[in-house]
Structure 1
């Protein structure tokens, strides 16, 4: 691994063993990384208040606040930063728990330097790609959010945060109510079908937008489309009630005879209403009138 490959990468190492910290600090510094060290979960949380690392190496078993609790608190502050667990335990239960609380990978102790460097390289690269994608989506004004395969929220564009804030309140509290549904949906064979989130009023629709790696999925929120009404046409275009009804059905491509049948009037009366509509809208044909109507209705 060359120093160039690791330029500008900051790694936070959290381990209650001074010996492990010393070994990792020397290894990572030699590879050209900037290293921050913490002997406890509380110290790690204090560090990230001041500096945001690109990757966290986290010991699973520590006194007082263990690695799993530390990981959960770190993810609240660093939702998109990859956390790699270091553990001497090969018990699959602990490995699974690490993933459940937000870890992206794990390394078994005693740590092999080349393995640590390889994992840091992969996960820091993936995180930077994810951030680039997020910035692009933010700029494009997309209602997109990213979740882990467990349905945990990793990041959301400002538009998602604004949408959920307007209709559901606090985004973290709201997320707790929809996370179980999201988790089941993205791991099922039905994820290509939209998921209706009935926790919102009115309900909103989630669409699977793909994944950027094997661990995360992108979800798009779609707000329900509300079509305008005859009353909207009447108010916005200064029409009479009957004129707005005629224009409403005209926007659906109905003929004069069909409009007459729907509104229980003669085709001649429909034609008279259309003449008045054309004058008020300053147009000279039904296509132009329908176009104005559709813009208001949709």
Structure 2
């Protein structure tokens, strides 16, 4: 049995050396992996427009677009895909730079087949666990972001992405504007107090939701205390008292389970109220409903 048990792992190998590509292609194919190859950063970017790999092996030193620039561009398209640098450089400065631009690991050349296979196995497994965590958090209705210690965005639940795009536009552009504040907040060690994010209208707050894999932090977006009340929602949106209570707590980023606990009802009852709220507000999901509620409560 090969060291890689899954036969559906797709690995993108980016290296300007045909010899290296040939060796890695043979090694990975023999282990049961699907291999995509690129001789340049530009080719790699073209490939990921059509196919999303599970892991990227990336040569650090290449002509024209080097591995570091390629990594940054790949992370824009594949924020949750692990990128492993391949380098013949022992200079720690290059290694650190690789981590700074989004790499998760590095291996030195000449590549040892057993080592590269083991690292692919570990990082692809971790990435799948992270994806499962995202799905679970999104199912619970959480506005969760996973960031590096430098505040760089690694992934966000779909609900969180929808919230950002509904309120403030494109996700990556928005995150670039708040990343310095997030990074300083994480470095300060004062995560007990939420961070005010005044880039949004209405303003949001970032709450520390815990550590993830010792290298990343989970951040929950919430709305600060509203000026408006449940009664304002009931009156302005023409919904029932119970629906206004559910919507009010939804605007704070609470999950269905949390809302059920607060209002002393069953989670499935919360779901039924939400279905009626969506119909009355003419929206399709909780994010859109929460956005309407947030704006109304801030304006009252």
TM-score range (shorter-chain normalised) is: 0.7 to 0.9
Shift in Å, 1:146: 1.2
TM-fit CA distance, 1:31: 1.5
Rounded to whole Å, the distance in 2 between the matches of 1:272 and 1:262 is: 16
Give secondary structure in 1 for the equivalent of 2:5.
Answer: helix
Taking a change above 3 Å as real, the CA distance of residues 119 and 223 of structure 1, as seen in their structure-2 partners, is same
Alpha carbons of structure 1 residues 222 and 64: separation in structure 2 relative to 1, 3 Å:
same
Q: Check the 8 A contact 1:130/1:212 in 2, yes or no.
A: no
Per the alignment, do residues 74 and 226 of structure 1 end up closer, same or farther by CA in structure 2, a change over 3 Å counting?
A: same
Structure 1 runs of 4+ aligned residues shifted over 3 Å read 227-298
Q: Alpha-carbon deviation of 1:9? A: 0.8
Segments of 5+ residues of structure 1 without an aligned counterpart are none
> How many angstroms apart in 1 are the aligned matches of 2:287 and 2:149?
49
The answer on whether the counterparts of 2:163 and 2:291 sit within 8 Å (CA) in structure 1 is no
Distance 2:272 2:146 in 1: 55
Point out the more displaced range, 210-219 or 19-28: 210-219
Distance 1:31 1:265 in 2: 52
1:6 shift after superposition: 3.4
Residues 248, 293 of structure 2: 8 Å contact kept: yes
- C-alpha distance in structure 2 between counterparts of 1:162 and 1:91, whole Å: 41
Name the SS for the 1:5 alignment partner: coil
Using the alignment, how far apart are the partners of 2:257 and 2:95 within structure 1?
Answer: 71
Conservation of the 8 A alpha-carbon contact between 1:60 and 1:67: yes
Which has the larger displacement, 274-283 or 55-64?
A: 274-283
Cα distance, 1:231 vs structure 2 = 8.7
Seen in structure 2, the aligned counterparts of structure 1 residues 189 and 27 have a Cα distance that, compared at 3 Å, is same
Find the residue that maps to 2:128 and give its secondary structure: helix
Distance 1:109 1:207, change over 3 A: same
Residue range with higher mean Cα deviation, 192-201 or 43-52: 192-201
Q: For residues 141 and 16 of structure 1, do their structure 2 counterparts lie closer, same or farther at Cα, with a shift above 3 Å needed?
A: same
| CA 1:40–1:206: 2 relative to 1, 3 Å | same
Residues 9-62 of structure 1 show CA distances to partners (whole Å, capped at 9, x for unaligned) of 111110001111111112112221111111111111111112111000000000
Contact 2:144 2:157 in 1 (8 A): yes
**Distance change in 2, residues 1:26/1:198 (3 Å):** same
1:158: how far off? Answer: 2.5
Higher mean C-alpha displacement, 186-195 vs 140-149: 186-195
Deviating more after overlay: 78-87 vs 184-193:
184-193
Residues 283 and 126 of structure 1: CA distance in aligned 2, closer, same or farther (over 3 Å): closer
Q: Is the 8 A contact 1:14 1:38 kept in 2?
A: yes
* 1:240 Cα offset (Å): 20
Answer with 144-153 or 283-292: which moved more. Answer: 283-292
Provide the rounded CA distance (Å) in 1 between the counterparts of 2:279 and 2:39. 79
Cα RMSD (Å): 11.3
Larger radius of gyration: 1
The offset of 1:116, in angstroms, is 0.7
* 1:236–1:97 Cα change, 3 Å: closer
| Cα distance in 2 between the residues matched to 1:120 and 1:204 | 38
| Structure 2, unaligned runs of 5 or more | none
Change (3 A) 1:264 1:131: closer
Spell out the pairing of 1:103-182 with structure 2 (5 A cutoff).
103-182=103-182
Separation in 2, partners of 1:28, 1:287? 42
Q: After superposition, give the CA deviation of every residue in 1:81-128 in whole Å (9 maximum; x if it has no partner).
A: 000000111111111111111111111111111111111111001000
Q: Is the 8 A contact 1:59 1:86 kept in 2?
A: yes
2:260 aligned residue: 260
